[in-house]
Structures are given as C-alpha cells and as structure tokens.
Chains A and B, each alone.
Chain A
Amino acid sequence: MTTFFHCARKHAGPFLWFVGVALYGSAALADLQIPAVPELASLPAWAQERVAPVKRALVVGISVYKHANPLSTPLYDAELVSDALKRLDPQMAVTQLSGNDLSRDELLERFENFRDSLRPGDIALVYYSGHGIELGGINYLVPADAELSRPGDETSTYISLPYLINEIQGTGAGITVIILDACRSNPFSAPVADEEYLDPKKPIPAPPMQAIASNQYLPLKTPPQQTPKGFLVVFAAQAGRPSYSLLIGDEPKMGSIFTRSLLQVLTTENKPASSVFNRTSGVVIRLTANRQEPLIASSNAGEIMFMDNQNLAKEELETWIRAVASTSDDELIYFLNEFVDYYPAGPFTAAARKRLSLLQATHEAFSRSVVSSERDVGLLNGSLKTPAVKDRFNTKAFARYDVNVRDLPRGGNSRVLGGLKRGQQVEVLHGKTPRGWAQVMLEDGQIGYVGSVSAQNKPVEVISLAASELPASGDLAMLERWRGSLEQGRSSIEIKVGSITNPNPTQASRIALLQGLRIRALIEAQGVARSHLALRLASPDVPMDTVTISLMKEGAL
C-alpha cells in the first residue's frame, strides 16, 4: 500500500498539469485556457479507487535438449530474470520453469496453469530462453523433448508463439509482454566471421530454418470481445540475424548477452517497458559490435513499468479525471470502454472495468456485432439520446425515459413490439424518419420505431482547429452566441476529433481522447451545459489532426 501513496504524491500537484497543458496547448492564447483538472478527490468514490494491476510472469529456460544441441546460458538466464523481477516488484507472481525435463507436455501443462491464473487487467509476462525455430512465418519454441518436426506437424511438435499469445489474450489480460531470447540464426546463412567472434547458441540442424520472424504478432483484425489490445513482443535479434549466447571469455552464469543487457537496464532505470527494451537494444548492439540487434515487434499497448506498479502517466490521470468528472451514466459506458482500451493496465483500469460491468448490468447495454452499412444517425435528442463519445458512426442511443417501441412509425394503428426502460441502450438504424420517429433494432433483432426523437444532425456553424490547438479568443464570441440557441433545446454542440498522426496507434487514440476532453472542459467553462455537448472521436468527417466544433441543428427530413 505504501507504494500507492508514494506514487500518488509523486504524480499529484499542479506542476504536472502545467506540463500537460503546455505540451498540447502551446498554440493557445493566454486569454483562453483549459480549466484546471479537478482534484481526484472530487470524483465519486468508485473512481478514486486505485488498484495496481497484478503482474504475473512465466520464466522459462531450457538448456539441455534431447535431440537438439545444448545451450549454455538458458538455465542461468531464467534464474537471473526471475530474481530480477522479484526484486523489482515483490508483488509480482513469478513462475520459474527451468530444468532438463521441460517436455512439451510439461511445458504446456505449466503454461496452462499460468494462463488459468491470469485475470482481466493483469499484466502477463512470458520470458523464454532456449531454442526457437521459424517455419512458414510462424515462430515456435522448442521443448526439451522435441524431435525435428515432420512437415505439417509443427504445431503438435513445438509450441507456437501465436498460440501462447492467443491463449494469454483470451484471458483478458491487460498487457501481454513476451520476451524471447530465442532468436537463433541459421548456421548456413550466418556470417562466418560471427562464429569466431562469438559463440552462437546453435540451432537444430535442418530443415530450412530462419531466425524468428517478427511480422506475425500484429493484433488480430477481428479480436473476440474483451480481447485486450496491450501487446508487446521483444526478440533478442532481428529476423534472419543470430542471437549470441556469450562473448568469448564470458562465463555462462553471466547470462546471455541479450538477457544480461536487458537486466542491466531493467534494474537500473524505472522506465516504461518499451523504453527499457529500446535501451537494451542499444546496449546489445554496442556489445556485439552491430552483429545483434534486438527487435521490438509490436508495441501498441499501454505502458507498463516493471519497477512501479502504479505506472501512471500524467496524461492518464488527467484523462481519467476529465472523463469521469460529472459524466452521466450513458456517457460513462462509452468513456470507460474507451479508457480500458487505451489504458488496459493502469491503476484506474480495475475501477473502470468494475464500474462498466455494473453500468452494463443496470443499463442493459448490449454491444452486438452489428455490421452496419456505416450510416451515421447523427445526434439524437428527445426520448432517445446518443452520447457519441466513442463510435465512429453514431448508432447507439439511450432511452431518456420509458418508451414504447412500435412496429410502425405512428402512434395509432400500430402494434407495440416492446419497450425501452429509461437508460436502456438501443441500436438506432435511422434517425431521420419523419415526424420524430427513429427506427431502432431491439436486442432480439426486432425492428421498430420510437417516437418523440429529435435528430440534430445538420451542422450550422463550424469552428475548425488543428488538433494541437485550442479555440482562440475570437471563437469565444461564436460560442457565446451559440449558447443562446442551445437553451431552446433544439441544438447541440458537437466536438469532433479527427484521427491523430502518431506512429503508435494507442498513443494517437489517447491524444485524441484527451484533447477532446480538454476542449469539452473549455467549452463547459464558457457556460455551456454538458447535456448540450457531444464528443466524437476518430470522426471520419474531420481531416487528420483536426478538431471541429460544430453547432448542430435539426436537419431537414
């Protein structure tokens, strides 16, 4: 618990908000500033609860092989890594598997136990030192008893990396980190000079074999529900390049060149994992005189820190507070989903998940895979309201009071198909039906109509900004003028944040979310009620790196 408080102190304080504002809002004029971030203590109690994500590590080292050449360092590597992880974070659950009897069955058994111990939001770490093999673009770990696989039998002879990742991700683990000190070069393609310079761990001879490929570990295109996005795979060497055990004169107990470099950085710098891996790369390149370069295959995930369980970035806390502060339940369903996606293993992620499941239970929210023809129903008001935080296309709405769903868009001479309870979520197919009727699809697939809906889908006036900017003082007058028409309830303001250019897609989404929240806070500070504001991220109507603020009115039918 001490860690929590220590961490809270470390990250609190006005200075950090200042840095954040300066970073994003450098173009802002002095007379228009983002309102200060509310105190965490001002949030509802559930949102103040910090829970450190649990880290669970599986550390595997295989030195002795029945049919393959022995390796000198893996047993030591596993030992060193386990010790380092336990020292870094005594709370971390570390399972170390090393020995000479790690048959495929044994390894899978232990892996399945590890998998079954994972809970949603956990940080899962797998470290492996031993033989690796790449066949048909897929990487496999080689168990101690594996013989050379016959073609087609690879998946039942070795253990594939995609399998491990798939199983871990299926548990809902927040972030998966896989470190493979198993890139073994093909002896037939490795430069001869390397052999005398270093003592490479020799791979199994034949069949045609390459170093571990790195392009297989992109996240799945259509992940099953609740699959986390957090994902990081580190290879000891680039594809096609050797990974050496030792420099000449080294003792095996020092660990492999990669592992010892990793641990050196890991134990001395309290930096996010991706930064640790980058620094490790530098050290390995230097030690091996450019002959071995570790590879970070995929990093589109939340940051994790090995040392500090709270791993809280200032933007994360600001996003959390701004997202949660005075947000209605229906908006929260969107925000919390978004937050869990972008910060899968932060200190508030557990609170977000908990709240989300509670809200979804009470709001009967359902998130069916509806293949839409990508039509946007716009902003709805009246009996149905679209909060429009997350979706690229606005199709989900919440009932603002108990309302009937009819089979035809008229009150008389129509049949009641069912009802929506206040707060219940519904899929809207058409928001533009005549005389205030919206076409909706019920959870059971029935299609019907809800009356008294007003669709605000026609932009009347638009303020357009670069994504890093804030509205200038000149825009203030316009917002002021808009405020008058808002009060009559027939208009609303929509903030649309376009896609953000950033090599890291998760980071891009985070920047967009935070910028949207900041602009919303700013407009609220001008006296616009939250109920008249809608925030839309990754909007296709807005160019890249652009934000628009539009006054929306009821469009012509």
Chain B
Amino acid sequence: MNARLLLAAFLLLCASSASRADPWTWPAQVSGSEPLRNLYLLDRYGVQLLEPKIVGGEEARLGDDPWQVALIGGDNFGPDRRPFCGGVLVADTWVLTAAHCVDDNTRPAQVSVLVGATDVGPNGGARRVEVRRIILHPLYLSGKPPRHDLALLELASSAAGRFTAAIATLPMEDEAKALAGQATARVTGWGVLGAGDEYGVRQLRFVDLKIVSNRNCNDRVAYKGRITDYMVCAGFADKLEPKDSCQGDSGGPLTLRLAGKRYLAGIVSWGDGCAIKERPGVYTRVARYSAWVADCQQGKASCTSPTFSVVEHAGAERAVPFSEQQGARR
C-alpha cells in the first residue's frame, strides 16, 4: 500500500515538473495566479528581476526582521546580488521558503543564502551562507495555484549572528485566533529593484496587511474556491492605496504578533496581482506544517514521505493520506 502511494506521488511529481516551463528563462505567458516567481522578469542584461510585489511599504530597520534571508544564485559572486526569492530562518541552520523558488531539481550548489542584512548589496553587511540540502515538501505540486508550496533549505553552516535570529512558527492551537479575518500581519521582501540603484539592490521593505478569511478569499469575486485549508490570504488594509501594499517576494515571511512575540504565519506563495481588494496575496499556512518542519530537522523519514502529520484544529494529530490531501478543496 505504502509503496503504491509512493509510486503515485512520484509519478505525479514527475509529471508536474516535466510540464513546467524552465523558470530560468522567460515565462511562456504570464497569467494570473501563477506562483510569484513565475512572474519573473529579466532585465536588459539578462538578470532576473523580482516581480514588483512590495512596491510601496516602508523600509525595514536592521534587526526588525532578523529571520529574513535572501536567496541568490549559488554562482553569483559579483556585486549584483539581487535575490530571486526570500526565505525565513526557522533555526540556525534551516531556512523555510516557497517550494516554487527551488523546484525543478534545483541543486544546493545553485542557491546561496544572504543573512543578517536589510541591504543585500555588497556593502550592506550581509553574510553569505551556502546550502547543503534542499527538501521540497513531499506533497508539493506546482500549478495554479501551487499546493503545499513549502521547502526547507539546510544550511552548510550556522546563520547565527548579530542581526540574525530564527523565528518560531505560529503554534497550531493559536492559529484560528491569530489568523482570524482582519488580523494585522506583516510581510517583508526586497520587491522590485529600481532602475539606477547601485547594483540594483534596495532595502528590505515591509507592508502591514490584513488577514482575509478563507471564506472571503474563496468567494466568487475572489479566488473561487482555489484557497485550501493549507493557505491563508492577506490583503491590503483599508485606506491604503492598493499599489502600496501587495505581497512580498516569494518565499518570504508573513509574520504576526501574538502576546508580544512575533510568529511566522505564512510563506509568500502566489496571487493574482494586487489591483483589487478581492485578490489578496496567498501564503502557505505555516502552522499546518510545523510537524513536517520539525521532522525534517530531526531527520525523520516522514520529512520526505508523501504523507505527513496534519494537526487538526482540536489539536489531535492524524496522518492524512496523499489522495485526500490532493482532493482538498479543489
């Protein structure tokens, strides 16, 4: 039984990655609800640019988001260190990011992580840490929208430093309350790189957003049922110009404050642009994956197996078969 499940999962994953366009070249046709990295642009010199997501917002201060890291090309040793995705330190040697940032058989050597800086330019004080291992969530499926869009990067050395710190993931028991509609959350990212900036890198930015309930996010004027229980939506707060408050870079953190402490609630995953309130950004709901994150750090087999523990609202754990996972709220 288990072997058959594994085979099914393997076939599905293969099929989905084969049909995908190479993310390092032009996207074939940009359309809505693609994973954010698929909206990549190349600049005139062939350098990949981030989709302009955090286009407004404010500059983050050094130390305010010490868990934020930048993913850059592993062969990028030049002055131009524009990140292609964001990531979050969940432990000294573990970075959580979006699976679609590192899928398509990305090898660890192809990715480096910059930590400890809001300015990832050559003079910003960022430290470069290499990646030892990339673990995609075993149930990750690319597509519109991506499912279980989560990956862990095991770092080759500790990211600990003066301006770095790991962030705790939101406990499952607090999730319902913390992610209620209208709760305030913060998303960070480097966003688009302004023309003429030195080496094209600018400061980390943040935007305060409001959580949108899954009911509203699944409404017929919104994402029409495409939001699963493993995703959470956050959109611009009222009174703000939509253009000032979109999602951050893929893989980056959606955090919120609970009892005076900041927790990781989501990972930037996908969206339909930011033009209207009905299309908020969509994030991987991290609390639902805390067991998986822990299992991977402890080297358990469940880290790479196609079933994983899902914590129910009541707090009871149960293993969810693969087929049920994929059928969830399609």
Residues of A within 8 A of B215 (CB): 156
Asked whether any CB of chain A lies closer than 8 Å to the CB of B210, the reply is yes
Residues of B within 8 A of A446 (CB): 46
Contact A159 B221 (CB under 8 A): yes
Asked whether any CB of chain B lies closer than 8 Å to the CB of A369, the reply is yes
Asked whether any CB of chain A lies closer than 8 Å to the CB of B222, the reply is yes
Asked whether any CB of chain B lies closer than 8 Å to the CB of A503, the reply is no
Q: Contacting B43 at CB < 8 Å: which of A105, A155, A166, A372?
A: A372
Contact A160 B221 (CB under 8 A): yes
Q: Mark A96-113, 1 if CB is under 8 A from B, else 0.
A: 000000000100100000
Asked whether any CB of chain B lies closer than 8 Å to the CB of A412, the reply is no
Within the complex, the shortest CB–CB distance from B201 to chain A, in Å, comes to 14
Asked whether any CB of chain B lies closer than 8 Å to the CB of A224, the reply is yes
Task: Identify which of B105-113, B169-177, B271-279 touches chain A.
Answer: B271-279
Contact B52 A153 (CB under 8 A): no
Residues of B within 8 A of A444 (CB): 25-26
Known: A138-B238, A159-B221, A373-B43. A445 touches B276 (CB 8 A): no
Contact B41 A371 (CB under 8 A): yes
Contact B195 A155 (CB under 8 A): no
Residues of B within 8 A of A429 (CB): 44-45
Asked whether any CB of chain B lies closer than 8 Å to the CB of A221, the reply is yes
Contact A371 B43 (CB under 8 A): yes
Residues of A within 8 A of B273 (CB): 224
Q: Contacting B222 at CB < 8 Å: which of A155, A373, A447?
A: A155
Contact B25 A445 (CB under 8 A): yes
Q: Contacting A370 at CB < 8 Å: which of B41, B220, B276?
A: B41
Asked whether any CB of chain B lies closer than 8 Å to the CB of A9, the reply is no
Most buried by B among A151, A160, A166, A444: A166
Asked whether any CB of chain A lies closer than 8 Å to the CB of B98, the reply is no
Most buried by A among B44, B46, B221: B44
Asked whether any CB of chain B lies closer than 8 Å to the CB of A191, the reply is no
Residues of A within 8 A of B52 (CB): 222
Q: Contacting A166 at CB < 8 Å: which of B26, B41, B46, B275?
A: B275
Contact A447 B46 (CB under 8 A): yes
Roughly how many angstroms separate A135 CA and B277 CA in the complex, as a whole number?
Answer: 12
Asked whether any CB of chain B lies closer than 8 Å to the CB of A249, the reply is no
Residues of A within 8 A of B41 (CB): 369-371
Which residues B186-204 have CB closer than 8 A to chain A?
192, 195-196
Known: A136-B238, A155-B221, A156-B221. A373 touches B216 (CB 8 A): no
Interface residue tally on A, bucketed by range: 35 or more
Known: A371-B195, A441-B46. A152 touches B216 (CB 8 A): yes
Asked whether any CB of chain B lies closer than 8 Å to the CB of A83, the reply is no
Residues of A within 8 A of B276 (CB): 160, 162-163, 166
Within the complex, the shortest CB–CB distance from A151 to chain B, in Å, comes to 6
Which residues B82-116 have CB closer than 8 A to chain A?
none
Q: Which residue of B lies closest to A156 (CB)?
A: B219
Within the complex, the shortest CB–CB distance from A450 to chain B, in Å, comes to 15
Asked whether any CB of chain A lies closer than 8 Å to the CB of B262, the reply is no
Asked whether any CB of chain B lies closer than 8 Å to the CB of A220, the reply is yes
Q: Which residue of B lies closest to A393 (CB)?
A: B44
Residues of B within 8 A of A447 (CB): 45-46
Q: Contacting B212 at CB < 8 Å: which of A108, A152, A220?
A: A152
Interface of B is mostly: loop
Asked whether any CB of chain A lies closer than 8 Å to the CB of B257, the reply is no
Most buried by B among A373, A375, A395, A427: A373
Asked whether any CB of chain A lies closer than 8 Å to the CB of B243, the reply is yes
Residues of B within 8 A of A373 (CB): 43-45, 195-196
Residues of B within 8 A of A375 (CB): 44
Q: Mark B1-42, 1 if CB is under 8 A from A, else 0.
A: 000000000000000000000001110001000000000011
Asked whether any CB of chain B lies closer than 8 Å to the CB of A368, the reply is yes
Asked whether any CB of chain B lies closer than 8 Å to the CB of A250, the reply is no
Residues of A within 8 A of B238 (CB): 135-138
Asked whether any CB of chain A lies closer than 8 Å to the CB of B49, the reply is yes
Q: Contacting A138 at CB < 8 Å: which of B25, B45, B277?
A: B277
Contact A370 B221 (CB under 8 A): no
Q: Which residue of A lies closest to B46 (CB)?
A: A447
Asked whether any CB of chain A lies closer than 8 Å to the CB of B57, the reply is no
Roughly how many angstroms separate A427 CA and B43 CA in the complex, as a whole number?
Answer: 11
Contact A374 B277 (CB under 8 A): no
Which residues B37-74 have CB closer than 8 A to chain A?
41-46, 49, 52
Roughly how many angstroms separate A330 CA and B329 CA in the complex, as a whole number?
Answer: 48
Contact A370 B212 (CB under 8 A): no
Residues of A within 8 A of B275 (CB): 162, 166, 220
Q: Which residue of B lies closest to A164 (CB)?
A: B221
Roughly how many angstroms separate A25 CA and B49 CA in the complex, as a whole number?
Answer: 46
Most buried by A among B52, B215, B222, B275: B275
Within the complex, the shortest CB–CB distance from B134 to chain A, in Å, comes to 23
Within the complex, the shortest CB–CB distance from B280 to chain A, in Å, comes to 9
Roughly how many angstroms separate A441 CA and B213 CA in the complex, as a whole number?
Answer: 44
Contact A163 B278 (CB under 8 A): yes
Asked whether any CB of chain A lies closer than 8 Å to the CB of B182, the reply is yes
Roughly how many angstroms separate A104 CA and B225 CA in the complex, as a whole number?
Answer: 17
Residues of A within 8 A of B277 (CB): 138, 155, 160, 162-163
Q: Which residue of A lies closest to B48 (CB)?
A: A445
Asked whether any CB of chain A lies closer than 8 Å to the CB of B330, the reply is no
Contact A443 B26 (CB under 8 A): yes
Contact B49 A371 (CB under 8 A): yes
Known: A427-B44, A445-B46. A136 touches B26 (CB 8 A): no
Residues of B within 8 A of A151 (CB): 182
Which residues A208-250 have CB closer than 8 A to chain B?
220-222, 224
Q: Which residue of A lies closest to B45 (CB)?
A: A429
Contact A152 B181 (CB under 8 A): yes
Roughly how many angstroms separate A151 CA and B237 CA in the complex, as a whole number?
Answer: 12
Roughly how many angstroms separate A151 CA and B212 CA in the complex, as a whole number?
Answer: 11
Q: Which residue of A lies closest to B280 (CB)?
A: A155
Roughly how many angstroms separate A154 CA and B150 CA in the complex, as a whole number?
Answer: 31
Give 3 nearest A-B pairs by CB, closest first: A136-B238, A156-B219, A152-B182
Q: Which residues of B does A touch, CB under 8 Å?
A: 24-26, 30, 41-46, 49, 52, 181-182, 192, 195-196, 210, 212-213, 215-216, 219-222, 237-239, 243, 273, 275-278
Given A224-B273, A374-B196, 7 other A-B contacts at CB below 8 A? A156-B219, A163-B277, A166-B275, A368-B42, A371-B44, A373-B196, A441-B44
Q: Which residues of A does B touch, CB under 8 Å?
A: 105, 108, 135-138, 151-153, 155-156, 159-160, 162-163, 166, 220-222, 224, 368-375, 395, 427, 429, 441, 443-447
A-B pairs with beta carbons under 8 Å apart, 20 shown? A136-B237, A151-B182, A152-B182, A152-B213, A153-B213, A155-B219, A156-B216, A160-B221, A160-B276, A160-B277, A162-B278, A163-B278, A166-B275, A369-B41, A371-B192, A373-B195, A374-B196, A441-B44, A445-B26, A445-B42
